[in-house]
Amino acid sequence: MAAFTAKDVQTLRRATGAGMLDCKRALEENDGDMEKAKQWLREKGLAGAAKRADREATQGAVSLSEVGRDAAIVELRCETDFVAKSDAFVSMAKELADSVAAKGEVAAKDAAGTIDELKTTLQENISLGQVVRYELSEGTTLGTYVHMQSGRGVNAVMVEMRGATDELAHDVAVHVAFARPLYLRREEVPEEEVAAERTTVEAISRNEGKPDAALPKIVEGRMNGWFKDRCLLEQSYAKDEKRTIADLIGSAEILRFAQVVVGG
């Protein structure tokens, strides 16, 4: 059996929300393998769903810029909240977003020297995070939203739609900001992710003592809930949970969306 320490037990507890004794047993049952222990706890119904409390968010700021029919989101990362809120840091994030929207993603790489200068000025490790740029197709509408915190953006969204009003596109962007979907539709979810989740859900259902005859229906119901959490079109609309996003947009079409969250 692989050795593990009390610190490993604490780490597993923070990551899963399970009890100390359960975490200890999970590590024992899985030869000290942390990831297998997390999966074991989940299958036994002892862990919070996909908790990752042991992962601390990186500080920084996100900025969104539109130039004509082009738009960009840029994330600038740093070590502390104090620097993330500073005028120089926030201004740099905005300048980068403006440049990327106007000139393309290469503009972010070209700014390496300027970022290095900012490191010296603010005496902190600063780096470029996620960079996303959209060149809008003819006749489409862009919805945007930036959630602000302490004077800087921390959660930015772009949604490109066809057949939508500006208001509808904005409403969808606001929803994305808070619901955080990973995919547009379930067909986009990688097959290996679906297969792994189905295996886990089946194990959870069996460990709960569900009858074999009822398992297929139970598993399918739980898989539908899993897809609903991840796929934008299936999510309940944040402002009206009786409607899905697919219901909300009607005949309009969501072509793509992007979300950048500080530390995400």
Question: Does residue 22 contact residue 9 with C-beta atoms inside 8 Å?
Answer: no
pLDDT, mean of residues 244-248: 97
> pLDDT digits over 12-50, tens only?
887 787 887 888 889 999 989 999 988 888 888 776 544
Do 48 and 84 have their domain in common? Answer: no
Confidence of residue 51 (pLDDT cuts 50, 70, 90): very low
Question: Does residue 146 contact residue 130 with C-beta atoms inside 8 Å?
Answer: no
Q: What angle do CA 136, 138, 141 make, to 5 degrees?
A: 60
Do 79 and 148 have their domain in common? Answer: yes
Is the residue at 220 inside a domain? no
Sheet strands (E) in 56-135: 59-67, 70-78, 127-135
List the domain range (segments joined by +) for residue 16.
1-55
Give which of 106, 96, 97 is closest to 70, Cα–Cα.
Answer: 97
Do 72 and 124 have their domain in common? Answer: yes
Is the residue at 196 inside a domain? no
* E strand or H helix that includes residue 75: strand 70-78
Do 67 and 166 have their domain in common? Answer: yes
Report pLDDT for 3. 76
Number of domains in the chain: 2
Do 257 and 135 have their domain in common? Answer: yes
pLDDT, mean of residues 212-237: 95
Do 18 and 73 have their domain in common? Answer: no
Is the residue at 83 inside a domain? yes
Confidence of residue 2 (pLDDT cuts 50, 70, 90): low
Is the residue at 238 inside a domain? no
What CATH number does the domain containing 16 carry?
1.10.8.10
pLDDT value at 72 more than 70: yes
Question: What SS3 class is residue 94?
Answer: helix
Do 66 and 98 have their domain in common? Answer: yes
Is the residue at 46 inside a domain? yes
Question: What SS3 class is residue 37?
Answer: helix
**First CA to last CA across the chain, in angstroms?**
35
What CATH number does the domain containing 81 carry?
3.30.479.20
Q: Is this model's pTM higher than 0.85 or not?
A: no
Do 24 and 148 have their domain in common? Answer: no
Question: Does residue 133 contact residue 64 with C-beta atoms inside 8 Å?
Answer: no
* E strand or H helix that includes residue 51: none
Indicate the pairing of strand 59-67 with strand 236-237.
unpaired
Question: Does residue 162 contact residue 134 with C-beta atoms inside 8 Å?
Answer: no
Do 251 and 122 have their domain in common? Answer: yes
> In whole angstroms, what is the distance from residue 134 CA to residue 256 CA?
10
